[in-house]
A and B are shown apart, each in its own frame.
Chain A
Amino acid sequence: MSDSGNWRERAATQTRLAFGQALLELGARDPRTVVVSADTQDLLGIRPFIERFRERFIEMGIAEQNAIGVAAGLATTGMRPYVCAYAPFISARSMEQVRNDVAYARQRVVIGAAASGISLGVAGGTHHSLEDLALMRSFPNMTVIVPADIEEAYQATLATQDIDGPVYLRLGGRVEEPTVTDPAVPFRCGKARVLRPGNDVAILACGAMVSLAVQTSDDLRAAGIDARVINVSSIKPLDRETILAAAVETRRIVTAEEHHLTGGLGGAVAELLSVEHPTRMRMIGMPDAFASIGPTVKVREKYGMSAAAIERACRELLDAR
């Protein structure tokens, strides 16, 4: 790729745009790459792909069910479809197509789900996506990945080339996502990455919560508390080994996600630990309520998705010793 080097500039700290830039690279690498849009050309930054690979681009319009069904049909012919969509709509509106046509039929369809969580905060609860991880994680055959930043989003998108089955890639919206991962430590599906060492408590985070976890760890370190931070971008398959090691070595686990507390990262970790190594936990995420309307960061903070809340959770576990 002649111009792939500039992808970081064009991704502009947003995972949704890094996904689009990675598609440009995949388009060049594999002639079977085909991009399916649901009127989401700018949302996922796919205009460069469209310009370059016009014949491998399909606009489906605002029809998510059709986009998934068509992608599944394309996959049966040997093409490698990437569906570009809004997380709240592709996970809920077309869930039956995802379950039957993609997961059950085990077709290699990759869903790039942008505007996840409460990144569309001002749009209101109809446009928040706070249950998609629970839904997608419950399907057999499905791989579920939540990149924390553009480096990881780009690498994870490229990595889908080698995943033999459907993938749900949860991406952010028009919000800044600070870089927290080390580009030199490559993304591997099913592998969680330790971003901060520490044996007092472990914070397991995904997506936008990872940078807050790093900030929390740095703040706690000044107070003499060593909080391990693990970026669990691979929700499914889960990195059992890394998570169990954290539970054994720190004895205190805090999970943090921009998702309902039901069924997401915290749920996945709790399912693992309750069976394999019961461990005291605190879970940061959206409680059982529809979120308020408002700017993303303010709404997150209202429901405890903030560095301050993560720190409180760590201290609670430490005080309970």
Chain B
Amino acid sequence: MSESRAELLTRLERAAQQIRRDVFRALRAGGGGHVGGSCSAADILSALYFHRMRVRPQEPEWPDRDRFVLSKGHANAALGAVLAQAGFIDPAILDRFYHFDSPFGMHPDIKMAGIEMCTGALGHGLAIATGMALGARMQKQAFHTFVMIGDGELHEGSNWEAALAASHYRLANLTAIIDFNKIAQSGRLTELVGLDPMADKWRAFGWEVREIDGHDMGAVVDALDSLPFHGERPSAIVAHTVKGKGVSFAEDTYLWHSNNVTDEVYARAMAELGAR
């Protein structure tokens, strides 16, 4: 029997909570890390890996796999969590976050299965994803390329170089997801350098844009299911999110962009995220 929509959304929401729990598992093992941006991205990562993307965890280099680039690489704990849950990597790696000689550090590294590119220096992922989408077109491959970009990351001008090129080359096989949690390391974007109107910027660069609540699983699924939004334009999903989503003490504050995760913090977070 096929899965109903309600069942699908429940499954994805549960998987997203598992990602958040595994983020804290990794961060406790590492002593701390990027709580805020990992939790704001969790719902979207769940929908990508457990609903939308065609991947083979047992064959991570499968040539026709959909590509995912985490341009906001500091949320690597969340990416590791989703890769573990999907079966790309042994979940035991989560306990080696930041550890000596581990493939699992603060930022994605192609040393780890399922990681497409070394990212985390901000403003690199969109250009890389644009190259992947061009490579797919040249080799007549059907895979879709997704790139998740942080909002603060969009201060880097290199993003806009790539945004220009992707629309110039009409890359309908490319989707950028902006994790728009309105906060960067030092504070609110409106108090740093503002990015509004976010969606209009992407439209002006020739992208087809949809704005969603990045924590409304139904909206996330609908957006991903509607791709590409336009047959001759790259798609942008501006996902309004809450930094630290799901963990009350970390929500909507720059203080939990990155912070220590002690046993006590871990226990508080797990209490809110629901035990297994």
A48 within 8 Å of B (CB atoms): no
Which bracket fits the contact residues of B? 20 to 34
**Beta-carbon contact of A73 and B121 below 8 Å:** no
8 A Cβ contacts from B109-154 to A: 110, 116-119, 121, 123-124, 126-136, 138-139, 141
B165 within 8 Å of A (CB atoms): yes
**Beta-carbon contact of A74 and B124 below 8 Å:** no
8 A Cβ contacts from A92-121 to B: 96-97, 100-101, 104-105
**Beta-carbon contact of B165 and A66 below 8 Å:** yes
**Beta-carbon contact of B136 and A77 below 8 Å:** yes
How far is A267 from B168 in the complex, measured between Cα atoms in Å?
Answer: 43
Residues of B near A74 (CB, < 8 A) are 131-132, 134-135, 138
Which bracket fits the contact residues of A? 20 to 34
**Beta-carbon contact of A63 and B165 below 8 Å:** yes
**Beta-carbon contact of B117 and A70 below 8 Å:** no
Give the Cβ gap from A218 to chain B, nearest Cβ, in Å.
48
Residues of A near B63 (CB, < 8 A) are 78
Which of A58, A81, A105 sits near B117, CB closer than 8 Å?
Answer: A105
B249 within 8 Å of A (CB atoms): no
Who on chain A is nearest to B119 by CB?
A: A100
Residues of A near B127 (CB, < 8 A) are 65-66, 68-70, 72-73, 97, 101
Give the Cβ gap from B250 to chain A, nearest Cβ, in Å.
29
Which of B117, B121, B138, B162 sits near A34, CB closer than 8 Å?
Answer: B138
8 A Cβ contacts from A66-88 to B: 66, 68-79, 81
B164 within 8 Å of A (CB atoms): yes
Interface SS majority for chain B: helix
**Beta-carbon contact of A70 and B121 below 8 Å:** no
Residues of B near A77 (CB, < 8 A) are 131-132, 135-136, 139, 141
A73-B139 in contact given A60-B165, A61-B164 (Cβ < 8 Å): no
Q: Could you tell me which A residues sit within 8 Å of B by CB distance?
A: 34, 55-56, 58, 60-61, 63, 65-66, 68-79, 81, 96-97, 100-101, 104-105
Q: Could you tell me which B residues sit within 8 Å of A by CB distance?
A: 63, 67, 110, 116-119, 121, 123-124, 126-136, 138-139, 141, 157-158, 161-162, 164-165, 169
Q: Provide 29 A-B residue pairs closer than 8 Å at the C-beta atoms, listed in order of the A residue.
A: A56-B138, A61-B161, A61-B164, A61-B165, A66-B127, A66-B158, A66-B161, A66-B165, A69-B131, A69-B158, A70-B127, A70-B130, A70-B162, A73-B130, A73-B132, A73-B134, A74-B132, A77-B132, A77-B136, A77-B139, A78-B135, A79-B139, A96-B124, A97-B127, A100-B118, A101-B127, A101-B128, A105-B110, A105-B118
